[in-house]
Structure formats: C-alpha cells, structure tokens
Amino acid sequence: MDRAKLGRLAGLAALAAGPLVVLTLFFLLPVAGMVGRGFVVDGTFDPLGVLEVLARPRVGRVLGFTLASATAGTVLSLLLGLPSAYVLSRLDLPARRLVRAVLLVPFVLPTIVVGVAFRDVLGEGGPLGFLGWEQGPVAVVLGLAFFNAAVVIRTVGAAWESLDPRPGEAAAALGATPFQVLTTVTWPALRGSVVSATSVVFLFCATSFGVVLTLGGVRWATVETEIYLLTTSLFDLRAAAALSVLQLVVVVVLLALTARFRAPGAPVARRTSAPRRVRPADAPALAVTALTLAFVALPIITLVQGSLRVGGEWSLDNYRALAGRGSDQALLVPVTDALASSLRIAVDATWMALGLGLLLAVVVTRRSHSPAERRVRSALDAVFMLPLGVSAVTLGFGLLVTLDSGPLDLRDSPLLVPIAQALVALPLVVRTLVPVLAGIDDRQRQAAASLGAGAWRTWLTVEVPVVWKPLLAASGFAFAASLGEFGATSFLVRDEAPTLPVVIFRLLGHPGEMNYGMALAASVVLAATTALVMLAVEQLRVPSLGAM
C-alpha cells in the first residue's frame, strides 16, 4: 500500500520533472533574478523600499485601469466568442472552417499593425471617427476583444465540438426548452472549458502591452506598460520589481480562484458529433457571429487594402518588394528569409510546447489518490500558467541577467527564442488538453488495466484516441502563437535570424513609403500564413474517432 503510494508519487515526480526544470531555468530563475535587482539596492536587501513604491497614487490608478480594462475586454471576448464558438462548432454552415480560421488570425497579428489598422478605422479620418473612440478605454477594450475572442472560440469550440449531443437531445425530447438544455445539460459540460478560456483571456488582457500602448495613448497605462516605462525609460528597477511582484500576486490569486471554479469536465464522447442544420432559434447566435466576423474583418480588410496600394494606386509592388531588404536596406535580411526563420522557430517552439504541455496535462489530470496528491497536481497546473502573467520585459531582461555564465550562457543561443515562445504557448496547450483529458472516465483506464493492459497500452487505447484531435488543435495554436509572438522575441531574437513580426516592426520604424507598404504586405503575409496553418489543422481534424 505504502509502496504503491510512493511509486505513484515517484511516477508523478518523474513526469513533472522535465517541465519543471525547463520552467525553473527559463522562467522562475530569470524573473527572480530581475525582481531581485529591484529588491537589492546598493548591495543591501530593502523590501520596504519596494513596499513604498506600491503606496504611490499612480500605482493605484495603473492597477485600477489594468483590472477594469482586462475585465471589460474579457467580458466582450466572451460575449462575441461564445456564440461564435457554438455556431462554428455545432452548426452545418458553408465555409465554417474557413470562417473559424479567419477568426483566429487576429490572435497572431503584430499589435502595432493592428493599432495602425484600428486607428485607420476609429481615427479622425476613418469611417467610425465620429464616435471619438480613437484613443482611450473604449479603443483598448475593443482591441483586447479583437485579439482574444479567438482564444474563446478555439478553447470552448474544441470542447463543444466533442460534446455528445445525445443527452441534450434526450432532454429536449423529454420537453426541456432550449434554454433548459443549455443550463442543465450543455453548460455543466462546457463549464470547465469556459472557465479555462476566461482565465486565459483575462491573463492575456491584463498583461497585454502593444494594444494598450497603441490604443490607450499616453494617458492610459497598465501594470505591463508601466513596467516597461519604469525599466527602460526611467531605469527605476525597484518600482518595476514592485509592479512585477504585484502582477504576480494578482495572477496567483486569479489562478487560485479559477482553480476553485474549474469543475472537472463531463465525460467526453469519443466522437465528434455531426454538425446539425441551422434552426430559426439559432438566429441570435448567428447574428453575433456575423458581428464578430465583421469586427475582426474590418481592420484586416483595412490592412489588406493598404498593402495593395502604392502611391495612391492599386499595385502588387509591396509584395514584390518582400524579396528584398526595403528602401535604403532598412533590413539586414529579406522579408522572405524572416518568414523562413519564423517558421523554423515556430516548429521548435511547437514541439517544445507540445511535449511539455502533454506531460503536464497527463500529470495534472490523473486521478489523485490522496488530498495531498490532488493539491500537488493542481499546484503544478497553476504554476505553469504563470508565464502568462509575467511581463515580457521582466522575463526578457531576466534571461539576460541570469543566463549569463558558463554552460548557461544562452544569451546568444538560437534556442532561446523558441524556448521563450514555447513557455508563452504552453498555457494554451495545457488549457486545450486538460479539459479533454479530465473528461475521460477513469473507469475506462481501470477497465483497460483489468484486462491486462500496461500503462502505455492503457494510454494508447484510452487517452490517445480522445486526445489526438485536441493535440492537433493545440499544436496549431502553439505554432500560430509562436509565429505572432513579439514581446519576448524582440528581446531575444538574433539579428541574423529575425522573425517576421520583428521585421515588420523594424520596417515601420524606417521612413519611406516603400518600407511602410512592405510592413503592411508582410503583415498580410503573416496573417495569411497563420490562417493557412489554422486551416490545415482544421482539415486534419479527424471527423470521427469512434472506430478505435
């Protein structure tokens, strides 16, 4: 008995060891190293100084705006994303895979480009300029929802698609209204994934940097933009450390809260239900989906249109120029090379994130045999969400100050970028897999085991068939997230091998109409590449897994 318990714990530790080492080395140590610099002033440890910073009135304002804008952004993302997830995962619509892929594109667009596109729409000369929303809280919230509705659609859509429709149909046949079906059958089954999506979206919103900077103007600062300002512009490391710690505390509290509300998912069916025909009752959800599509498409169309214009006329010259290095050699490598590096880096980031994510998801979802074990598992689950809640600035500089000696001098290693991106993508992978794995009835494993299957065999016959599809979805998402990642990448990327978003940013920073046009064209290429990846994943999703 005791030996079995020990064995289980040892197994748990062995599975968790790899991810933990990676996380410690590339996340916990760097962040601690950077925050430590703020706590130690002139060689002495001075925690009181850090506390003093937190009493500044500006810190209160910044924290208030961070929480308010993130809450509003999350609510709007859910309002737009949930009906869209329903429509795109359950209804038989023409081109729904294409629509779903398009809706996921914003997530990876460089924020600076989206900022420019948003301003074209909301700005003084734009079609919605009369609203006066160009800069300020409304623009920020719209921007956050533009990026994050995709996360809701993906996370909840995947769970919704694999939901067995029969209990709902049975309830309806027994006289339940659609609303009753939703609240008593569908919602309990989806709750896990909705809570997951909400917590991830909230973290993304609360730590978003570019959106707030471009759409908020000077007046509206969040903890994330404030850390950047304090670190790079004012070199006030103590205040930056104080805010980093504050951000971490908020994130940990949030994770603790969501862990409480994240009920285990209902048993997952081993098949994707066939999408059903559209009914009149679907009209509201369809309308919201159309609105979401328009909301997402407007800035993208503005972007595409801009990329196709040269000197006031339609032209493909901006795209032809991508094989070169811009006017006055603004770039060190052609944009096409940057695309190749982006793809290579994304491949590495994807397998790293998938490997770590799968291990973690398995560890976290295995049935615990004691309360202590359960606590360890849920703590593990939460710890790996932390990278979402830490400023890219803190992490970027932290890697610089900690990984700087001996075999750990990885500052110039080509692996640093994919590792950082994998850590950013990891929570997405874990959150996509955990609800599915958690939904597997443990009795299936027991049945397999009692029939003589070993651990591997059990895993292959029980888990793999169910997890295979979400795994593909997760890999697509990790790949796309890596393609678009800018914050950490811009700190770590090597000059000879810049990624596409880094090149776009660079082009935007160089004068000349051609460079600007190329930046827009490169953004369209980035968006199109992402859409293709997402489409490929959609196509690869095996329609039925029940045969096994």
Partner 1 sequence: MPARRRIPALAATTTMVLALTGCSLIGGDSEKADRADQVVLVTHESFALPDEVVDAFEDETGLELVVRASSDAGALATKLALSADNPSGDVAFGIDNTFASRVLDAGVFEPYDAELPEGAERFALAEGGDLLAPVDQASVCINVDSAWFAKRKLEAPSSLEDLAKPAYEDLTAVSSASSSSPGMAFLLATRAAFGEKWDDYWRDLLDNGLKIVDGWTEAYYGEFSAGGEKGTRPVVLSYDSSPAFTLDGPGGRSTTAALLDTCFRQVEYAGVLKGAKNPEGAQELVEFLLGPEVQAALPGSMYVRPVSGEVSVPQEWSANAPEPDDAWEVAPAEIAANRDTWLEEWTDVVTR
Out of 8, 71, 93, 123, point to the residue binding partner 1 (CB under 8 A): 123
Q: Is 547 in the site for partner 1 (CB under 8 A)?
A: yes
- Do 190 and 156 form a contact (C-beta atoms < 8 A)? yes
CB of 467 to partner 1, least distance (A): 14
Residue among 355, 288, 425, 403 at smallest CA distance from 32: 403
Residue 511: both structure tokens together? 């004068």
Q: Is 317 in the site for partner 1 (CB under 8 A)?
A: no
Question: What part of residues 382-411 is at the interface with partner 1 (CB under 8 A)?
Answer: 397, 400-401, 404-405, 411
**CA 119, CA 143: separation in Å to the nearest integer?**
11
CB of 119 to partner 1, least distance (A): 5
**CA 135, CA 214: separation in Å to the nearest integer?**
8
**What are residue 226's phi and psi, to 5 degrees?**
-65, -40
- Of 165-173, 234-242, 284-292, 445-453, the segment contacting partner 1 by CB under 8 A is 234-242
Question: What part of residues 281-310 is at the interface with partner 1 (CB under 8 A)?
Answer: 306, 309
Beta bridge partners of 40: 45
Computed from CA positions of residues 27, 33, 34, 39, in that sequence, does the dihedral angle turn out positive or negative? positive
Out of 124, 284, 314, 371, point to the residue binding partner 1 (CB under 8 A): 124
- Of 65-73, 170-178, 233-241, 376-384, the segment contacting partner 1 by CB under 8 A is 233-241
- Of 120-128, 181-189, 359-367, 379-387, the segment contacting partner 1 by CB under 8 A is 120-128
**CA 356, CA 363: separation in Å to the nearest integer?**
11
Question: What part of residues 151-210 is at the interface with partner 1 (CB under 8 A)?
Answer: none
Out of 76, 163, 229, 360, point to the residue binding partner 1 (CB under 8 A): 229
- Of 137-145, 183-191, 282-290, 347-355, the segment contacting partner 1 by CB under 8 A is 347-355
Question: What part of residues 16-35 is at the interface with partner 1 (CB under 8 A)?
Answer: none
Q: Is 312 in the site for partner 1 (CB under 8 A)?
A: yes
**CA 415, CA 405: separation in Å to the nearest integer?**
16
Number of residues that bind partner 1 (CB under 8 A): 78
CB of 493 to partner 1, least distance (A): 6
Q: Is 334 in the site for partner 1 (CB under 8 A)?
A: no
Q: Is 511 in the site for partner 1 (CB under 8 A)?
A: yes
Q: Is 488 in the site for partner 1 (CB under 8 A)?
A: no
Shorter beta-carbon distance to partner 1: residue 144 or 492 = 492
Question: What part of residues 96-115 is at the interface with partner 1 (CB under 8 A)?
Answer: 112, 115
Residue whose pair of structure tokens reads 């993130």 in the numeric block: 70
Q: Is 508 in the site for partner 1 (CB under 8 A)?
A: yes
Q: Is 8 in the site for partner 1 (CB under 8 A)?
A: no
Shorter beta-carbon distance to partner 1: residue 74 or 350 = 350
Burial class (CB in 10 A: 0-12, 13-18, 19+), 155: buried
Q: Is 510 in the site for partner 1 (CB under 8 A)?
A: yes
Question: What part of residues 136-155 is at the interface with partner 1 (CB under 8 A)?
Answer: none
Is residue 80 within a helix (H) or strand (E), and if so which, with residue range?
helix 57-90
Shorter beta-carbon distance to partner 1: residue 200 or 524 = 524
CB of 218 to partner 1, least distance (A): 5
- Do 475 and 350 form a contact (C-beta atoms < 8 A)? yes
Residue 280 exposure: Cα atoms within 13 Å on the Cβ side: 0
**Length of the chain, in residues:** 548
Could you tell me how far CA 148 lies from the centroid of its own chain?
8
Query: What are the DSSP calls for 253-267, one per residue?
Result: HHHHHHHHH-PPPPP
**CA 46, CA 88: separation in Å to the nearest integer?**
54
Out of 176, 248, 297, 343, point to the residue binding partner 1 (CB under 8 A): 343
CB of 249 to partner 1, least distance (A): 24
**CA 106, CA 66: separation in Å to the nearest integer?**
21
Query: What are the DSSP calls for 323-348, one per residue?
Result: GS--GGG-SSS-HHHHHHHHHHHHHH
Shorter beta-carbon distance to partner 1: residue 80 or 424 = 424
DSSP, collapsed to helix, strand or coil, labels residue 41 as strand
Residue among 149, 150, 128 at smallest CA distance from 139: 128
Contact code string over 460-479 relative to partner 1, x by CB under 8 A: ------------x-------
CB of 461 to partner 1, least distance (A): 15
Residue 437: both structure tokens together? 């794995």
Q: Is 532 in the site for partner 1 (CB under 8 A)?
A: no
